[in-house]
Amino acid sequence: KFYAACVILVLEHLHTKGIIYRDLKPDNLMLDRDGYIKVVDFGFSKEVDGYTYTMCGTPDYIAPEIITMQGHNRAVDYWSLGVLIYEMIIGVPPFGTANESEQQVYQNILDNHFDIPEDISTDAGDLISRLLVNDPSRRLGMQRKGIRDLKEHSWFRDIDFIKLERKKVAPPHKPAEKGIDYIDGWDRYDDAEEASSAPFTSGTWDDCF
Give the start-to-end residue ranges of the domains of the chain.
2-165
Is 168's pLDDT higher than 90?
Answer: yes
Question: Are 59 and 31 in contact, with CB atoms under 8 Å apart?
Answer: no
Q: Is 41 a catalytic residue?
A: no
16-54: per-residue pLDDT in tens? 999 999 999 999 999 999 999 999 999 999 999 999 999
| Total Cβ atoms within 10 A of residue 186 | 7
- Tell me the CATH number of domain 2-165, given options 1.10.10.10, 1.10.510.10, 1.10.3720.10, 3.30.70.20: 1.10.510.10
**pLDDT category of residue 116 using cuts at 50, 70 and 90:** very high
Of 57, 58, 129, nearest to 89 by C-alpha is 129
Distance CA 96, CA 87 (A): 11
Q: Which of 23, 60, 160, 190 is catalytic?
A: 23
